Structure 1
Amino acid sequence: MGAVPDASASSNGTLLTAVALLAVAGLVLSRLFRLQVDPREPPIVYPTIPLLGHIIGMVRNGPLYFKTFGQKYTHPIITLPVLTSRTYLVLSPDLASQVQRASSTLDFVQLAVEALPRMAGVSKETKEIVDDPKSKEEGRERMVTQVIHGLMAPMLSPSKIGDIANIQLRHFTNFLNAIPNGHEVELFRFLSREITRASMESFYGPENPFALHPELVEEFWNWEGGLVGYMLGIFPKWTAKKAYVGLEKCVTAFVEYMQNNRHSQAYELLRRRQQFHQDEGISLEEQARLEIPMCLGINVNAGITVLWMMNHIFSRPVLLAEVRDEVQSNALLAPDLISFTALRDKCPLINSIYKESMRIAAPMTSGRYVVADTIVADTYLLRKGTVVQIAGPALHSNKEIWGPDAETFNARRFVYNWNGTRSSEDGTIVDSKANQVPAAAYRSFGGGSSLCPGRHFAQMEIVSLAALLVMGFDLEAPTGQDRVLWDPPMDDKRFPIAVIKPLNELNVKFMRRPGREDVRWKLEYY
């Protein structure tokens, strides 16, 4: 009688065969679809998983994925195969500067145009108008370029923003003066929502959609919070429902705003922008959709940045005392009056804390679309139809650029130089030309043609609000909590649309400073 076959051995053999077949199939696919590169292109870094590996890495690790390349490779730029194409990743400030200068063939505007339908549900017809395909043959600037550089940048310059700055600052003082002593809040939600209300009033007027429909503040933040999922475009009505509903409610309110000519109350920049859209034949609903990305720019970053500033200052008692002394000595024009101009020009420490907070929490990646084959730095070929990205997470954590403490907060990193100063081995910052950081290494506001036109307004509102919070209040542990849980972990495994948010809540109690309980604070631009 013959032996009975071993069932477990048979199943193991089947499993091994299947694994071997999968391995062979993976090898075949990898070679079949292996990217064909020109030897002049940047060095190529293949993923472990063919085709999808880099996409999976970005989804899993967010900005940290780009950071690892900066730590692993010394090349100034690398090529990442993505599906059957490639993305170029810039890891050097010198090369970042070269990319920024090649704006005629490395186009930021095209990426912005491509993002519009994904961000706000803009129609193909509107995208075509914004894309402005005839501009090149007619020898003129594209519509988006005219709006960004011809309208927004001049109207948001320091010499132009005084009026809307004072509206914003007046809103802040009314808000903070009304805080009851002992008021307990979750700090991010508390600050971000009120900054949203202030910015909407400053830019869109007292009868802005969020003022007439206060519930829209949360609907807007629902859209912002789910924006990455919404932009994937995979049935967002169901897969990113909160973002979809929030967006549609905001669009409906903006249609009403425009139908009732409330745009006449808005800042001149937005009135001219809306007229520009109307002259180009964009429908009323589509104009309303184009306002939502604008709201993203003016509403989101400030609240998160102020949160991180408060975290860094109040968690360090010595630094808190130093900031208070600096503001008291240089920017307090009267016992109750803080001047932003004095803060900006005479208070280097609080401005350094502002920039350092953004260096850590806003390591933005700046993209360019390659519209024609381009050689950068007389060395590297960037192929037409691809994307080149300046990797902010890698640049902001580079110890060769910033010093040995590059990955941690250093309050004085920007005291001597607006671009930053490399720290010494012991973490001290010494004023030295040799240690000045290249301008292109700091990516929180982009750079070159994508440099954020609203950066001056952002500095004004963030630094002013931070100064008033520091001068007017102590932030203590809420009831039932023995201490404030400073330094919440950052939600840095998701690619942020804006500044990285905290992963956990930061709960505090607002206590008016002894001897200043009855002060009615004022903030002014000049």
Structure 2
Amino acid sequence: MFVIYSLGTRISWMVMDLFNLLTIAVLVLAIYYFLQFLTPKLDPREPPLISAKIPFIGHVVGLLRYGVPYYAKASAKHPLHPLPAYTLDLFFTKLYVVNSASLVSAVQRHHKTISFDPFLTAAANRLSGITGDGLKLLQETESGGGGINNKVLHSMHPALLGPGLDVMNKNMINNLKASIDGLESGQTSFDLHQWCRHAIGVASTDAVYGTLSPYKDQDIERALWDYESNLSVLLLRILPKITARKAFQAREMIVASFVKYYEAGGQENSSQMTYGRWKTQYDAGATTEDIARLETAAGIGILSNTVPSTFWTLFEIYSRPELLGRLREEISKNALHVDGSSAIHTVDLADIKDQCPLLLSTFQETLRLRSNGAPTRLVYKDIVLNDQYLLKAGRVLQMPSECINRESSTWGATSSEFNPSRFMANGEQKPTNRATGFMSFGASPNICPGRHFATGEIVAMVAMLLLRYDITPINGHWIRPKLNPRAIAASVTPPIEEFRVTVWPRKEFKGTNWAFSVTEGKGRYPLVTG
């Protein structure tokens, strides 16, 4: 009797389980077809679709897990890989990915139809926390806004591409030298990336913000990196006080410090760039808090790529003894000047620009292989790109640098290899589409405005360190540290783990007094831009 009862109980539970499973299956199918109904259908003229293993959310999960490198993984799954362009399903929308330099110029020709401007507004909202009338003031004019975001960008050009660049370079160099001199005391060990972060951070922010720079406070300096390293959840804008607590609190701390900065008149004794950014917004009627919020996000723009670019340039050079020797010889011969009376050794930045092609080429080759940014655009209206692909209005388009920068049709059979002389005049033959095949500074007309300032800072630090110091990893091996996928603001991904090194002053320069010189009007570098 017990056996029959037990069997009957099992059967009844099995029937209930089967009923529950059928109910769940029906619900899943209903949700699936409902989502299919909501998801825009792909026109056969659009770039081919790359399907995800998990419908609707698979690509979203992949991008959250891997960041921009996911594009290369997704592309490799298509039977016709490599595709010049393809489409990804991202939940209720579709994303176009341009994967080839041959199409970049076509995107650029349609810059009024395929525009970056809406993302400036989105960044002001999601990154900076600007809302309401302040956001409307910044919004692009095509969407009914005041267009101030674009005007702020244009206000920076005299400081970053003209006379103002000389002043910023001089201030930056003085601070940089202090950090480099600090290594002179003898053998010392530290995390190389963290050292670059502080040295570049101090040099950059003091040059940009002047004597009252909020980043002179170490708590604010730390807050910037807490903010920068935890952006992904903040950008989702889902209860950020709770879900993105660390980034949210760090941002609000920096905002408060900038409000105090402006109230104290810090912009009056800052760089031409900072003053121009402030005045453009102030004259347009922006509140002090909104100006402070926009400047908080600017800190990410100033440092998030410069720091890891410095680290990786040093890594690539010091890990190659033959290249290290060649660069030391080039800098010593062409950019180092010794005063006969005082014996001061001076490194001239203008000479680095004009007479150290291997150093500049090595720097750009580092960017080419280390960049993983993805210049982003919004399609305003339906167009046919390059007489080849239909792009529909409202879709987002991205151009991942990791794929384009390594394209063999642009860079040749060795496109995935590190070649320090690749960007030299006598280096490998350059195809005509080389510029559109190099996305490390973005894609025209939205090129990184601070590229010359950042380049001057990086090559100055690298040149001085190469001449003055030997650097060796603690473990004796130049093994690439793990990368930080959470640093989504950085198009050059920083390490997520320590990379400890030992630093010794070179014996031949023991007791030498060092200096930098900045020749007026020669702060712009011959960089390749997309």
Q: TM-score of the superposition, structure 1-length normalised? A: 0.88
For the 8 Å contact 1:46–1:81, the answer to whether it is kept is yes
For the 8 Å contact 1:117–1:124, the answer to whether it is kept is no
Who is 1:223 aligned against?
227
Who is 2:508 aligned against?
515
Distance in structure 1 (CA, Å) of the matches to 2:487 and 2:287: 34
Q: Tell me the SS of whatever aligns to 1:215.
A: helix
* Counterpart pick for 1:356 among 365, 384, 396: 365
Distance in structure 2 (CA, Å) of the matches to 1:337 and 1:492: 39
**Cα offsets for 1:452-493 (capped at 9, x unmatched):** 111111111111111111111011344xxx425542133357
How far 1:134 moved relative to its partner? 7.6
**Cα offsets for 1:127-169 (capped at 9, x unmatched):** 10001548979xxx932223323x2223311654111101111
* Counterpart pick for 1:432 among 429, 432, 446: 429
Who is 1:467 aligned against?
463
Q: Does 1:181 align with 2:189?
A: no
How far 1:441 moved relative to its partner? 1.4
Who is 1:258 aligned against?
262
Distance in structure 2 (CA, Å) of the matches to 1:119 and 1:323: 40
> What are the equivalent positions in structure 2 for 1:208-357 lying under 5 Å apart?
208-211=213-216, 213-334=217-338, 336-357=345-366
For the 8 Å contact 2:152–2:281, the answer to whether it is kept is no
Distance 1:103 1:266, change over 3 A: same
For the 8 Å contact 1:395–1:442, the answer to whether it is kept is yes
Who is 2:136 aligned against?
128
Who is 2:451 aligned against?
455
Distance 1:431 1:357, change over 3 A: closer
Distance 1:25 1:467, change over 3 A: same
**AA aligned opposite 1:471:** L
Distance 1:319 1:22, change over 3 A: farther
Distance in structure 2 (CA, Å) of the matches to 1:158 and 1:473: 33
For the 8 Å contact 1:339–1:523, the answer to whether it is kept is yes
Who is 2:526 aligned against?
none
Distance in structure 1 (CA, Å) of the matches to 2:256 and 2:163: 34
Who is 2:109 aligned against?
101
Q: Does 1:504 align with 2:504?
A: no
How far 1:107 moved relative to its partner? 1.3
**Cα offsets for 1:333-361 (capped at 9, x unmatched):** 22611111111121121112211221222
For the 8 Å contact 2:108–2:445, the answer to whether it is kept is yes
Who is 1:366 aligned against?
375
Distance in structure 1 (CA, Å) of the matches to 2:490 and 2:391: 26
Q: TM-score of the superposition, structure 2-length normalised? A: 0.88
Distance 1:467 1:49, change over 3 A: same
**Unmatched tracts of structure 2, length 5 or more:** 339-343, 520-530
How far 1:37 moved relative to its partner? 2.8
* Counterpart pick for 1:385 among 387, 390, 394: 394
* Counterpart pick for 2:85 among 77, 101, 105: 77
* Counterpart pick for 1:91 among 88, 99, 102: 99
Distance 1:219 1:52, change over 3 A: same
* Counterpart pick for 1:168 among 142, 163, 172: 172
Distance in structure 1 (CA, Å) of the matches to 2:201 and 2:423: 28
Shifted more, 23-32 versus 238-247: the winner is: 23-32
**AA aligned opposite 2:452:** H
Distance in structure 2 (CA, Å) of the matches to 1:406 and 1:13: 56
Who is 1:488 aligned against?
481
Who is 2:528 aligned against?
none
Q: Does 1:415 align with 2:420?
A: no
**AA aligned opposite 2:228:** E
Shifted more, 378-387 versus 28-37: the winner is: 28-37
Who is 1:425 aligned against?
none
For the 8 Å contact 2:158–2:273, the answer to whether it is kept is no
What RMSD over aligned residues (CA atoms) do the two structures have, in Å? 2.7
**AA aligned opposite 1:460:** G
For the 8 Å contact 2:232–2:486, the answer to whether it is kept is no
For the 8 Å contact 1:181–1:511, the answer to whether it is kept is yes
Shifted more, 440-449 versus 488-497: the winner is: 488-497
Distance 1:507 1:158, change over 3 A: farther
For the 8 Å contact 2:104–2:436, the answer to whether it is kept is yes
For the 8 Å contact 1:177–1:520, the answer to whether it is kept is no
Distance 1:42 1:239, change over 3 A: same
**Unmatched tracts of structure 1, length 5 or more:** 418-429
Distance 1:256 1:456, change over 3 A: same
